[in-house]
Amino acid sequence: MTVSPRSLRDRFAVGEGLAQRLSGIDSFTVLVACAFALAVAVRAVQVLGTSFPLNDGGLFYAMVRDLEANHFVPPHTTSYNDAQIPFAYPPLAFYLAAAVDKATPFNLVDLFRYLPLLFTCATVGAFYLLARDMLRGRVAVVAALAAFALIPRSFIWLLMGGGLTRSLGLLFALLALHQVYRLYRDGDGRRLPLAVALSAATVLSHLETGWFLAFSVALFWAFCGRGRKAALHSAWLAAGTAALTAPWWGTIIAWHGLDPFTAANGTGGTVLSNAQTRDFAFLTLAHGVSTSEPFFPLLGALGLLGGFACFVSRRFLLPAWWVAIVLFDVRSFATFSSVPVALLAGIAVAEVLLPLFDRPGALGRLVGRSPAPGVAVWLAPAFIFGCMLYFAAYGALGRDPRLGEQATLTSLTPGEREAMAWIAATTPTDSRFLVIPQTFWQADRESEWFPVLANRPSVATVQGSEWLPAQAFDRQIGAHARAWGCAWAGTDCLDGWMAAHGATFTHVYLPNGCCGGLADALRTDPRYQLVYDGPGGVVYRLGPIWLL
C-alpha cells in the first residue's frame, strides 16, 4: 500500500491540532522551563564534579595570562610552549576572561571551568529563539529544545577549558542566525545592525565558528531571501562584519602577514579541500548521524525522521543545512550539526510520532483493549518519550569510558598537577620534555596543560601549531602520534622518535596509569634515571651516557 505525499501532509497537520491543545501560555512556559532546566543540569553535572577545567584549555589559559601581563595589549606571540606561536587567535573570549579575572575574586582556573559552562547553557537559550521562529507549533519547539539539551555533541567540546572560545562563538553564531533568519524572512532591515554586531562577535570569538556562520547565512539567503533587498542586506552584513573585525585581522596581517590564517585554514577542511577530506565527508553523510549518543543515536534517528517529514512537505532548509555542515566543516561538523538535528527531531515528534497516537484506536491496538476517552492521546506518547528521555539523560550524565566521546570530559588529576608543579620547581629551566600521550591529540589533556603547569616545553604537544607555517601542524600531529605509539614499546622507540623528528628532549614524563611497556623499559635502561615517582606519574631524566 502506498501513501501519497498529500496524505502524509494531512497526517502531519494533526500535529498542529496537538499543538493547539498545548497552546496555553502557562503550560508552554513550564515545558520550556523544564527543558532548559534539563539542559543546565546535564551540563552543570559535568563541570561541578571537578576542581580543574575539563580536558583542554592550556593554550588559551596561557594566552589570557599573556594578555594580562601585557596590560591588555595583544603581544606578537604567546609564551605557550616556548614555540613562538603568533598571538593570532580571535581574542574576544581572552579579553572577557582577563577582565573577569581582574574584576572578581574568581581565579583564572575557576573561570576556565565556569565561563564555558555559562556560555554553553546560554547557547540553549539562543537555540530556543531560533527554534521558536523556524518551527511550526509549540510542540515542535519544546521537543527540539529537549533534544538540543540532551544531544551530547551540543555540549561536549563546549564545556571543556578550550570551550571558552568555542562556546562563546556558538552562542553569538546562534544569536546572529536568529537575526539573519528574521531579516530574510520578514525583510526587516532594522535587524541588520544587531546581525552585524553578533556576526562580528562570532568571528572575534572563534574563527571556525565564523566560517560555520558564513555558509549558514548563505544557505538561509538561498532558501529565505533571494530577492534584491535580501542581497543588499547580505552585502551590508558581510561588509559590516569585515569592518568591525578589521582591527583584529588587520593587526595580525601587519605583524605576521597572511601566514597564520593560511596555516589555520589548512587544519580544517571542506568537501572541496582534497580527496581524503572529500571521502571522509561523504562517508560521514553515508553514516547519517554523528551526535555522540551512547548506546544508540536515538535523537539522531529522530532527526533523520524529521528530515524525511521535511522532504515530504517540501521544506528543505533544515535537511540542507545538516548536509552543508557535514560537507563544509569536516572537523567540527558534529558540534554544529547538533543544531539542525535537534530542530528536525522536534519536527519528528510534533508532526510524525504524536499524530500516530492521535488516531482513534491506535493505543487500543497497542495494549489490546480500549482505554478511557482522552487517555489514548497521551498515555502511550508519555510512556514512550519518558523512556527515551531516561535513556538519553543517562547517557548524557554518565562518565563511563564506554560512553565514547563523552569520556573526554575529564580533567587533570590532583596527582598529575602535583607532578607538573614539581617539574616546574625542580628541573632545570632549559629542560625539554617528551610527554607520553594516552589518547589522540585533541583529548590529550596532559600534553596541552603541561607547558603551562610545568613551565617547560613539551616537544610533542600539538596545540598552537595550527597557527605556524610550513606544515608545522602536520609535523606535530606526527610527533604526537609516534610518541603515543612508544607507550607500548621500548626505549629504542624513543631513539627513533628523536631521529624521525629531529628534536631532542632531556626528560620523559609518563602520566599516571600510562605506558606499561615503556615504563618497564625505562626502569631497566641505564641511560634513563628516575627522578620523580608519585601518584601523578613518573619522570625520567636522560642521562649523560646517552648524551656522550
**SS3 sequence of 113-160:** HHHHHHHHHHHHHHHHHHHHHHCCCHHHHHHHHHHHHHCHHHCHHHHC
Alpha carbons within 13 angstroms on the beta-carbon side of residue 316 total 8
Cell numbers at 73, concatenated: 595589549
pLDDT of 394 strictly over 70: no
At which residue does the C-alpha cell 493547539 appear? Answer: 20
For the ranges 169-183, 215-229, 481-495, the one whose mean pLDDT is highest: 169-183
- Rounded Cα distance, 458 and 432, in Å: 6
The model's pLDDT over 321-364, given as tens digits with 9 standing for 90+, comes to 998 998 888 778 889 999 999 999 999 988 988 887 655 544 44
- Rounded Cα distance, 177 and 329, in Å: 17
Nearest to 54 by CA among 443, 430, 361: 443
pLDDT of residue 22: 45
The arithmetic mean of pLDDT across residues 361-386, rounded, is 48
Task: For 317, list phi and psi in degrees, rounded to 5.
Answer: -60, -55
Instruction: For residue 368, name the pLDDT band (cuts at 50, 70, 90).
Output: very low
pLDDT of 114 strictly over 70: yes
pLDDT of residue 375: 45
- Rounded Cα distance, 361 and 371, in Å: 9
Beta bridge pairs of residue 78: 85
Q: Which amino acid is at 433?
A: F
Lowest mean pLDDT among 50-54, 112-116, 378-382, 404-408: 378-382
pLDDT of residue 408: 85
The model's pLDDT over 65-80, given as tens digits with 9 standing for 90+, comes to 999 999 999 999 999 9
- Rounded Cα distance, 280 and 487, in Å: 28
Element holding 434 (H helix, E strand): strand 433-435
Q: What percent of the chain has pLDDT over 70?
A: 81
Please give the residue that has the higher pLDDT: either 439 or 282: 439
Cell numbers at 159, concatenated: 564545556
- Would you list the DSSP string of 164-189? HHHHHHHHHHHHHHHHHHHHHHH--G
pLDDT of 366 strictly over 50: no
pLDDT of residue 448: 96
pLDDT of residue 547: 44
For the chain, give the longest Cα–Cα distance: 90
Q: Is 125 helix (H, G, I), strand (E, B) or coil?
A: helix
The arithmetic mean of pLDDT across residues 287-312, rounded, is 85
The model's pLDDT over 193-243, given as tens digits with 9 standing for 90+, comes to 999 999 999 999 999 999 999 999 999 999 987 788 999 999 999 999 999
The model's pLDDT over 2-42, given as tens digits with 9 standing for 90+, comes to 445 555 455 545 555 554 554 445 678 888 998 899 899 88
Mean pLDDT, rounded, of the chain: 85
Lowest mean pLDDT among 153-167, 230-244, 401-415: 401-415
Domain range list for the chain: 5-394, 414-547
pLDDT of 141 strictly over 80: yes
- Rounded Cα distance, 315 and 470, in Å: 45
Pairing of strands 528-534, 85-86: unpaired
> CB-based contacts of 229: which residues, under 8 Å, 6+ apart?
187
**Calculated CA dihedral for residues 204, 206, 208, 210, nearest 10 degrees:** -40
pLDDT of residue 545: 44
Beta bridge pairs of residue 433: 458, 507
Residues making up the chain, counted from first to last: 548
pLDDT of residue 287: 59
Lowest mean pLDDT among 108-117, 319-328, 355-364, 517-526: 355-364
